[in-house]
Amino acid sequence: MNFTLDSFDDDDEAWYKSYGGRDGHVFIIDSSKNMYDDGKLEKSVGMIKQVMQNIIIKNEKNMVGVLLYNTEKSVRSLDDVNEDEKFEPIQNISELLKFRTVSATSIKCIRRFKDDGLTEFPVNYGHCDTNPGCFNIVLWHAMRMIQGSGFKMNDKEIVIFTDKNIPFPNDSPEERSAFKKAEDLRDSGIRVTLIPMSENFGGEAFYNQFLSIVNEAEIEDVQKEIEMLCKDPDDKVKRCFKKNYSKRCNSRIKFHFGQGLDMSVGIYSMHREAKPPKKVILTSDDNSIVISKRVATQVIEVPETGQIMEKNVLPSEESKYQKLGDEKVVFSKREETQMKRIMNPGIILLGFKPKSSLVLSAHLRGPNFLYPDETIIKGSTKLFIALWRKCLDMDKVAYAILTQREGALPKLVALVPQEEETGKNFERYSGFRIEYIPYVDSIRELDIMNEIDFPQPISEHVEIFKKVVRKLRFRYSPYTFHNPSVCGKYKIIEATVLEEEHPPFVDCTLPDTDLQDERLGELIGKFNELFEPDEETKVQKRKGSDTSGAPAPKVQKTVNFSQIQNAYNNGSLESFTVDNLKSFLVEKGKTGLSKLKKADLIKMVEEIMEDDLLSSVNV
């Protein structure tokens, strides 16, 4: 959602992006002799394998195809299982992988080609550097692969791996044909990415102009990207272990200023926790998927016969209760829904405060992003820009009540204006950042801060810590740290499917202790001298019944019936521990208590006491 509010035009509706469809990538590798001899062809194939491993994790429906150009022979694809199918060779072009969804089979094909197939590459494929029109032909074939996929495509990309600055002479018919092909690619919505396989790659002769036409970008921006990729071509294919989610609008609601003035806005998620793939329960016989179903039952005792029967309860027949003192206040599901409907979906403006009023300690959860939306109220963007620009100029924050959807609880939020800013490791958009702040009922005071008399550090201690902090500084970026549990699980699954050796587990969140020791140097000795305790404190073990030092076993505390009865009458059953409640229920002949929570145990005790009370009344 990279929108620039300042560049909005009334007649420009291009920023309403249509979501849906798959992503398609066609990789084109220059297979000239120089690429092969210098090992660049092998490196290109390895990078493509890594991208395919990323894609299969991000979205298994995305599609990938691989083409080789400047080959002497035209060879059919590695994953072409139907060898009887008619093969139509294209001069000096080989189809390494057909344009299909990424699978474990296609990744294995690329791995085998990298490990074994490249050895016999000059014999099986060969090299041809004498066909200047091969570049245009392979672009046409790549475009035909994408357009003939038969699926709706969301993002279409062609990636070129080459070390040649100029694929053909300047001002040649092939060059003019390439620029015409660039316009066709642009009109088809296909973007082109260049991966230069040479540190001294100069794209100013041809590729700067070609990529600026295809991607509708400035030549200076294209040149900067090429220079950056020359230094680090692997930057485009770094491993990632997270699902790819479309930046869809979470909800579209009205923003109420008061006095009948409204505008429509959209709310977007800025962060989403990366989670490992969900486990699927299978049967041990044939590995078929087990489908779980929740069924609510009611136990009924027939008065005439005393027989216990079970009756299925429909969701519409269920009720809930809230305990208030000794009373159980019962609500139907409809009443519960009506109670939760406190406010209609929307944002109600409360007022404005200086930005300094928003303190870090008031942060409740991750923020969302607010952006104008024209689907409900036309002209909302103009009003949104006016509010956003004025809050930036006056350094103000808007406070409001937010109800995201029907039945959601109202939240107290601060709308913080922010301008667009893009860096290597971050991206920030123009709009309002929604910061969730607590109600007064949610604020907790830490009594421990008042109870403990903390000692005051001496100046020598403060100085040594200042030096330690200066020595251990580092450049932080959220893109540096991967979730170790997610990465580890994906790597094990990936290695199992691809029949590879399980990689060693590496936790990138742990610090480099050797580097820290090297930076601190003599400070470690001074630190230990200053903060070494005067006397070593020994951990005292509990004495057991014997001299082995083993801890004595816990003694199970039991409670009698009169204690339980008094607590039941006073409504203080919660004062008993879980062990006390379990011991009482065991005496009453109850079983299956190991997995029950304290609330369930108290409920069982209450039922026993009610039964005893009824039996005493009947007597």
Catalytic residues: 17
Pairing of strands 153-162, 346-354: unpaired
Question: In 150-263, which residue ranges form alpha helices assigned H by DSSP?
Answer: 173-187, 207-215, 219-231
Q: Is 63 within 8 Å of 99 (Cβ atoms)? A: yes
Q: Is 346 within 8 Å of 254 (Cβ atoms)? A: yes
Interatomic CA distance for residues 281 and 289, integer angstroms: 6
Instruction: Name the DSSP class of 427.
Output: E
Write phi, then psi, for 39 (nearest 5 degrees): 80, 10
State the chain's maximal CA–CA distance in angstroms.
Answer: 111
Pairing of strands 396-403, 427-428: unpaired
Interatomic CA distance for residues 34 and 36, integer angstroms: 5
Q: Residue 431: enclosing H or E segment and its boundaries?
A: strand 431-436
DSSP character string of 250-318:
SEEEEEEEETTEEEEEEEEES-----PPPP--B-TTT-PBPPP---EEEEEE-TTT--EEEEEE-GGG-
Tokens, residue 529: 């001298």
Pairing of strands 251-258, 261-269: antiparallel
Q: Is 343 within 8 Å of 251 (Cβ atoms)? A: no
Tell me whether residue 400 is exposed, middle or buried, using C-beta atoms within 10 angstroms of its C-beta: 0 to 12, 13 to 18, 19 or more.
buried
Interatomic CA distance for residues 270 and 434, integer angstroms: 10
Interatomic CA distance for residues 406 and 286, integer angstroms: 44
Give every CB contact of residue 100 below 8 A, 6+ residues apart in sequence: 63, 64, 65, 79, 106
Interatomic CA distance for residues 172 and 604, integer angstroms: 89
DSSP character string of 52-100:
HHHHHHH-TT-EEEEEEES-SS----TT---TTS----BTTEEEEEEEE
Tell me whether residue 104 is exposed, middle or buried, using C-beta atoms within 10 angstroms of its C-beta: 0 to 12, 13 to 18, 19 or more.
middle
